Amino acid sequence: MTDKNSIGEPLTTERNAANKEWHCPTFMSTSTIAEKEAWLEQLLELANDSVGDTTSRQTPNATVIDVQAFLVVLKALGSNEAVSDAGAPRRADVWMNLLLNSNHLQPTAECYQYVIQAWANSSKEQVMVIRNRSERWLNDLLKKSGDKLLQTIMAQEQRPVPGTANSPIIQPTIGCFNAFLDGLTRGRQGKNRRDRQILLNSAKLAESMLRSLHSISIHRRKQQEDGMDCHDKNFVVVRPDTETFNYVIRGWTRCKHERNVHKQVLRILRLMEGYQRSNPAAFITDRDAPRPNTKSYTMTMDALITEAKLKAGRHQNYQSNLRRQERYTIQKHSIAEDPSFNGVNEMNEAAAILEYMHNLHDAGVEGVVPHRVPYNILITGWAALAHYNKHRYYRQASTTHGNKGEEFEAEGILRTMMTHRDNGFEDASPDAVSYEKVILAWANSGHPNAGKRAMWWLKQLWKDYELYHDSTSNESHTSTLKPTVNTYNIVMKALSRTDGALAAENVLLNLGEKYRDGTNHPELCPNSESFAIVIEAWLDSAKEAQNANDRIVSIRRAYEWLASLRTIENESNLSTAPQLFTGLLSACKECANRRPHVLALAQQIFDDFRQSRHTLNHNSYATLLQVGLRAHLGPDRCETRKEFVETIFEECCEDGLVSNIFVRTLVDDYSVECRDLVNRTLQEWPHPASWSRNVRNRMNQCTPSDIQPYHQRNTRGNH
């Protein structure tokens, strides 16, 4: 019987020796990674059979199989197709080690590049494992190159490799270094992404490699131009390209919490631009020379805006401290509002880079297109600064950059994008993110008309979506103009702060109608945050209400929305949050004195909390106790008060949630029922450990001082 490969072609030793079909660029182009690996496994078995070795696949016959066959698999494992394959990098290691152990085959630089890229693409491995494995393969390549100057790039002591003195020299390529830098500077999920030190060390290593490559390439090209003979017989010129610089810039932009990152990025950008300034004539003919492109300038803008956010945060803290210290004078206000302190200068510098990109694009510079991404980054920056400077409307002071606020700056950028669209420059036309960030700027601003303005922009987004949905043939453009549930959530937040809970509720109802109207808008399905925003808006309304009846109405409205959310919980990933239950209980406490019947509602909320998927906490018991004591005031409620206190104390002990707040509430109440309970059960110390077994935070556990009356605790605290 004749064996066949994964695409059904006969696979014989004679045919492969005479005509290696895997050298064709389209070979197995439609096959999966598993099929390619199975094909190579089969090919190795045939190669071993041809030399009489049927027990091992570790010494393939070079007359049957060559390096190109391994490249078929290694290239697949290092492709984007393998990103979701958790085992791809380790399988690439296995195939590469098999190739290295061969006595007849010599790997090429391309083999190393794809193995390193397989590790760079990994999304499941730990970041340090990725770095160490990639570094191992890059070091191995540099050792085999025989180039002692390139070996110094990794800043490690290079030991001689036995058996490599007479081996053919492997010429490293910039693609190998780029693959390593890609894995080093790529964003990761989980703890590795939050580890600031790992991000900072990776950025420093990436920049060090870039500068070493840059120096070596400049030095050796100068030697070539001067006609000097290189004493090293293994003379290699590896010049950084645009992607090399971009990977390093990306590494610094990942360091979101580090100060002055933008200065590092700007230095790298100027180093890349230095190639053109050093030799303008050769730069025109040398298309492979590194030159900044759209990605380079966009990431530089991102670094500037990150610095602007950090400065704005420090600026806000500075002003808050001054207000707390009651020393917020006009002179100090002017110092705090300096644009060099609050991030405005960095925002203006980012805007200047965007304008420079337009100038380059208009001049016909290849690779620089000021599309919507840098515009959206700029809008996002102004939206963030609006959050930090929102207090200006409360103190009725002018903004830090003229008469315009951050929300108006964001609007101006969006209108510029709309002008580009009207002029036919589709690349810079706005998308849903552009509108959403402008809406966010208004929501963050604290402006009295923020809600109405956010709603106006939402309606404008729908108008543009309907208009371009019918008139343009660019499907990708129309799809990006669809509002999402996140857009609606931002609008609801803005309305809840300025126009009240009813306005936010109407937007949620409108969102539900659009989702159910059958026009295929799955991205408009209300989520848990949508309900939470409306519930919290009604709770805020209850806190602000002057009339007790209005407060009760707001609480009941919030409870109705929470009940609706509980009804559809677990549908479309909807879920409640424990803060919603405790927030409702706290709202009931505020009006229990005047409206005792609110205790029934509080008990219903408490029971719903118990029946939910959440675990009761100590605050819920303490708050319900406070509601009940306020509702049962007066000498005519002794029996009901006693029954309530005894019942809730017994249930709290059974659930192991007796906290210091709960005990202090009983001790500080002057009713006979509470005093009797305290004297009977709480005076003896220590209390049974089971009473507080589920109070996880030690700060909330009961201590002997909590049993003392309020005036004694207060006096002791003052001392």
Contacts of 634 (CB under 8 A, 6+ apart): none
pLDDT at residue 354 tops 50: yes
Chain centroid to CA 9: 47
For residue 497, which of 543, 457, 546, 448 has the smallest C-alpha distance?
Answer: 448
DSSP 8-state assignment for residue 10: B
Question: CA–CA separation, 608 vs 582, rounded Å?
Answer: 11
> Residues 481, 502: contact at Cβ < 8 Å?
no
Residue 718 banded pLDDT, cuts 50, 70, 90 = very low
Instruction: Return the DSSP state at 685.
Output: S
Q: What is the largest CA-CA distance in the chain?
A: 108
Alpha helices in 369-498 (DSSP H): 372-388, 392-395, 406-422, 432-445, 450-471, 475-479, 485-498
Spacing of C-alpha 323 from chain mean position: 33
- Give residue 410's pLDDT: 96
Among 513, 501, 494, 515, CA closest to 447: 494
Q: What is the reported pLDDT for 676? A: 93
At 371-416, the pLDDT tens digits run: 999 999 999 999 999 988 765 544 344 444 444 689 999 999 999 9
Please, which residues bridge with residue 4 across strands?
10
- The rounded percent of the chain whose pLDDT value lies above 90 is 58
Angstrom distances, CA of residue 637 to CA of 623, 642, 664, 669, 671: 20, 8, 22, 14, 10
Domain spans, the chain: 1-101, 126-159+169-272, 615-719
Strands (E), 584-679: none
pLDDT the model gives residue 162: 44
Whether residue 332 contacts residue 322, with contact meaning beta carbons closer than 8 Å, is answered with: yes
Helical axes 406-422 vs 372-388, angle rounded to 10°: 160
- How sure is the predictor about 433, in pLDDT bands with cuts at 50, 70 and 90? very high
Average pLDDT over residues 49-70: 64
Average pLDDT over residues 515-531: 83
Q: Are 660 and 618 in contact (CB under 8 A)?
A: no
pLDDT of 151-177, one tens digit each?
888 754 444 444 444 445 788 999 999
pLDDT band at 361 (very low <50, low <70, confident <90, very high): very high
Question: pLDDT at position 12, please?
Answer: 43
CA dist 320 and 324 (Å) reads 6
**Alpha carbons 21 and 31: distance in angstroms, whole number:** 15
The candidate with the shortest Cα–Cα distance to 378, out of 301, 303, 265, 436, is 301
Rounded to whole angstroms, the Cα distance separating 333 from 439 reads 28
Q: Would the pLDDT of 704 be above 70?
A: yes
DSSP 8-state code for residue 229 = P
Q: Please state the rounded mean pLDDT for residues 614-626.
A: 94
Reported as a pLDDT band with limits 50, 70 and 90, residue 285 is confident
CA gap 399, 337 in Å, rounded: 8
User: Among 101-115, 190-204, 669-683, which stretch is predicted with the lowest mean pLDDT?
Assistant: 190-204
* Per-residue confidence band for 476, with pLDDT thresholds at 50, 70 and 90: very low
Q: Rounded to two decimals, what is the model's pTM? A: 0.85
Whether 694 and 657 have beta carbons less than 8 Å apart is answered as: yes
- C-alpha distances (whole Å) from 48 to each of 52, 57, 102, 106, 457 are 6, 6, 12, 18, 69
Range with the largest mean pLDDT of 16-25, 102-111, 215-224: 102-111
Query: How much is the CA Rg of the chain, to the nearest whole Å?
Result: 34
- CA proximity to 479, closest of 445, 517, 433: 433
Stretch 634-652: mean pLDDT: 92
> Using an 8 Å Cβ cutoff, are 455 and 495 in contact?
yes
Distance CA 648, CA 643 (A): 9
Q: Which amino acid is at 6?
A: S
Token pair listed for 211: 């500068």
Question: What pLDDT sits at residue 579?
Answer: 94
Q: Residue 29: what pLDDT? A: 86
At 455, is the pLDDT very low, low, confident or very high (cuts 50, 70, 90)?
A: very high
Is residue 442 within 8 A of residue 453, CB to CB? The reply is yes
CA angle 221, 225, 229 (to 5 degrees): 85
Q: Is residue 112 pLDDT above 70, yes or no?
A: yes
**Lowest mean pLDDT across 191-195, 249-253, 261-265, 306-310:** 191-195
Q: How far apart are CA 169 and CA 143, in angstroms?
A: 10
User: Whole-angstrom distance between the N-terminal and C-terminal Cα of the chain?
Assistant: 96
Return the higher-pLDDT residue of 573 and 107. Answer: 107
State yes or no: pLDDT of 659 exceeds 70. Answer: yes
Strand partners, 10: 4
Res. 103 pLDDT band, cuts 50 70 90: confident
Q: What is the pLDDT of residue 164?
A: 43
Determine the pLDDT at residue 573.
Answer: 81
